[in-house]
């Protein structure tokens, strides 16, 4: 009577030993035995979608609809596939139908919120998170997303109340988010008390320990921060001592900093970590050539050089050797092909060197390893728009970045710039203004706003916007802004 379960078990075993084709065939047999098996149907549909055979995937999902709550899972996946094909309107319809089929199934609510966030429609996204919290009031993801949106909407008191609720759930994310928010509100005692409360439950959590040390430093609790860094080092090598050395030197305690470095070199003479510490020691004293030499020595004693690569790229850049930074980043990628940050850094230096095609490939490689890495999404979108002249290809990347980081004015500016390049000036203006609402000091965004207003024929407003751009200290396009002002 349970033959379908045997097919599923056999298919899972085949997949585990790399026999993917055989596994899929076995799962098809499993579905024939048990057509109502949602897990098998979704697995087969996912495989078809991975091969971009969306028609087959949709057919599999539609055939599984039976008129009960299980339809919610299938309709949610149908919405996901439609959204992947750029059919956003149909995707919204599928997600709404999934909510009706299974009112307590969270996925379609979050998917609708993501679509709203891509459009910076904060109110609609907020409604979806509230809907989840109506039947799952302790859902930390919904609480944190709601708080983030309330903060963007300048509703700080409401955001704080939501974060207090997330903290009361007892999750690591809740403690961290509340502590960070207190810090942003400049309430240092509350921020520190929150993180210390969290560490009672999560005593070895490095993110919380790092937050505690940062708050201690800012509160002038020098010895307290050193003690926290020492505790971090016990949890994971390299997590605390580099910060200890940097802080000691910043406070003119060279002898104590040197003692930490020498102790590590004595304990682990063949470890690249001791050379990394020595590099930090020299860098904090602005002895950059000596810091770089220490890293090069570390590379010679061990193949485990990932942290050294990162530091070498940074130091070469600080010394003005961007060509060498590019070379080191290339070596970093060759030896650590699965490090998405390595591909991103390589892309940055390739872009600076004017090698646009290689930069594009590096950003894509980064996103293959981490499709939600916002800096790569943002840089690639800007590259397509500004350097390659293909804003249509940039649009889904920029919208994805805004979905993931709706409170980041830089990604809002990029999406606005994409719409500007597509001659959708009203939409561009909407995103530039959202970026300015979050950070009014960004000169380039004021300049982009002025260009857009000029295109819309609003010269008086354009003059005011370009003047704000010129008054900003961080304007990078000053010459272009001055030329725009003259033309107006």
CB 8 within 8 A of CB 40: yes
pLDDT band at 2 (very low <50, low <70, confident <90, very high): low
Which one is predicted more confidently, 42 or 447?
Answer: 447
Q: pLDDT at position 32, please?
A: 82
Q: Is 176 exposed, middle or buried (0-12, 13-18, 19+ CB in 10 A)?
A: buried
If you ran DSSP here, which 8-state letter would residue 121 be given? -
Asked if residue 234 has pLDDT above 80, the reply is yes
Rounded Cα distance, 80 and 61, in Å: 12
pLDDT of residue 8: 75
Number of H helices, E strands in the chain: 29, 0
Structure confidence at residue 6 (pLDDT): 76
Please report which helix (H) or strand (E) contains residue 307, including its range.
helix 306-318
CB 116 within 8 A of CB 128: yes
Taking the model in full, what pTM does it have? 0.84
18 pLDDT tier (thresholds 50, 70, 90): confident
* Contact predicate 26/10, CB 8 Å: yes
Torsion 280-284-285-288 (CA) sign = positive
> What is the pLDDT, as a whole number, of residue 433?
95
- pLDDT bin (cut points 50, 70, 90) of residue 130 is very high
pLDDT of residue 305: 66
pLDDT digits (tens, 9 = 90+) for 61-111: 999 999 999 999 999 999 999 998 989 999 999 999 999 999 999 999 999
Give the pLDDT of residue 413. 96
The average confidence (pLDDT) of the chain is 93
User: According to the model, what pLDDT value does residue 243 have?
Assistant: 95
User: Does residue 303 surpass a pLDDT of 60?
Assistant: no
At 340 the three-state DSSP class reads: helix
CA torsion sign for 277, 281, 286, 289 is negative
Query: Above 90 in pLDDT, residue 136?
Result: yes
Q: What percent of the chain has pLDDT over 70?
A: 98
Q: Is there a contact between 197 and 211 (Cβ–Cβ < 8 Å)? A: no
Q: What is the mean pLDDT of residues 367-372?
A: 96
Nearest to 247, CA basis, from 237, 255, 257, 238: 257
Nearest to 26 by CA among 8, 43, 42, 39: 8
* Span 200-229, pLDDT tens digits: 999 999 999 999 999 999 999 999 999 999
The pLDDT score that the predictor gives to residue 197 is: 97
Give dist(CA 159, CA 166) in Å, integer. Answer: 11
Residue 273: pLDDT band (50, 70, 90) is: confident
Least confident of 184-188, 216-220, 270-274: 270-274
- Separation CA 29–CA 11 (nearest Å): 9
What is the separation of C-alpha 266 from the centre of its chain, rounded to a whole number of angstroms? 39
Question: CA neighbours within 13 Å on the CB side: how many for 167?
Answer: 23
Over residues 390-445, the pLDDT tens digits come to 999 999 999 999 999 999 999 999 999 999 999 999 999 999 999 999 999 999 99
The Cα–Cα gap between 285 and 291 comes to 9
Q: Which residues of 135-145 are buried (b: 16+ CB within 10 A; e: fewer)?
A: eeeebbebbbb
Residue 304 has pLDDT above 60, yes or no: no
pLDDT digits (tens, 9 = 90+) for 172-183: 999 999 999 999
Band of the pLDDT at 47, cuts 50, 70, 90? confident
């Amino acid at each position: 009577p349970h033959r379908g379960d045997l097919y599923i078990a056999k298919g899972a075993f085949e997949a585990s030993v790399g026999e993917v084709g055989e596994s899929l065939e076995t799962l098809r047999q499993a579905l024939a035995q048990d057509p109502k098996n949602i897990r098998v149907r979704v697995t087969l549909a996912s495989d078809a979608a991975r091969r971009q055979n969306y028609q087959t995937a949709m057919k599999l999902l539609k055939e599984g609809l039976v008129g009960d709550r299980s339809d919610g899972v299938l309709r949610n996946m149908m919405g996901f596939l439609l959204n992947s094909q750029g059919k956003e309107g149909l995707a919204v319809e599928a997600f709404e139908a999934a909510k009706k089929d299974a009112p307590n199934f969270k996925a379609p609510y979050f998917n609708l919120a993501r679509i709203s966030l891509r459009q910076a429609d904060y109110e609609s996204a907020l409604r979806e998170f509230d809907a989840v919290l109506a039947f799952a009031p302790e859902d930390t993801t919904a609480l944190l997303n709601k708080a983030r949106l309330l903060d963007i909407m300048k509703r700080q008191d409401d955001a704080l109340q939501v974060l207090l609720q997330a903290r009361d759930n007892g999750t690591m994310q809740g403690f961290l988010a509340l502590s960070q928010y207190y810090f942003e509100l400049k309430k240092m005692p509350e921020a520190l008390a929150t993180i210390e409360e969290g560490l009672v439950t999560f005593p070895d959590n490095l993110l919380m320990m790092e937050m505690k040390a940062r708050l201690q430093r800012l509160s002038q609790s020098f010895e307290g921060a050193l003690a926290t860094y020492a505790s971090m080092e016990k949890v994971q090598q390299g997590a605390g001592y580099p910060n200890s050395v940097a802080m000691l030197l910043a406070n003119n305690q060279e002898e104590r900093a040197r003692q930490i470095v020498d102790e590590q070199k004595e304990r682990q003479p063949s470890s690249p970590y001791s050379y990394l510490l020595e590099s930090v020691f020299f860098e904090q004293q602005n002895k950059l050539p000596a810091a770089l030499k220490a890293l090069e020595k570390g590379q010679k004693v061990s193949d485990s050089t990932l942290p050294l690569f990162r530091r070498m790229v940074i130091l070469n850049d600080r010394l003005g050797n961007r060509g060498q930074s590019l070379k080191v980043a290339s070596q970093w990628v060759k030896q650590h092909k699965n490090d998405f940050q390595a591909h991103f850094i390589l892309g940055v230096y390739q872009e600076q060197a004017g090698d646009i095609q290689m930069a594009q490939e590096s950003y894509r490689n980064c996103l293959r390893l981490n499709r939600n890495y916002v800096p790569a999404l943002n840089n690639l979108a800007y590259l397509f728009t500004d350097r390659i002249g293909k804003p249509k290809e940039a649009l889904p990347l920029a919208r994805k970045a805004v979905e993931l980081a709706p409170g980041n004015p830089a990604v809002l500016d990029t999406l606005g710039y994409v719409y500007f390049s597509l001659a959708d000036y009203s939409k561009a203006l909407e995103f530039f203004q959202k970026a300015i609402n979050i950070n009014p000091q960004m000169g380039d965004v004021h300049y982009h706003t002025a260009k857009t207003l000029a295109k819309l024929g609003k010269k008086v407003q354009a003059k005011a916007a370009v003047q704000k751009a010129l008054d900003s200290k961080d304007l990078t396009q000053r010459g272009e802004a001055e030329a725009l002002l003259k033309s107006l």
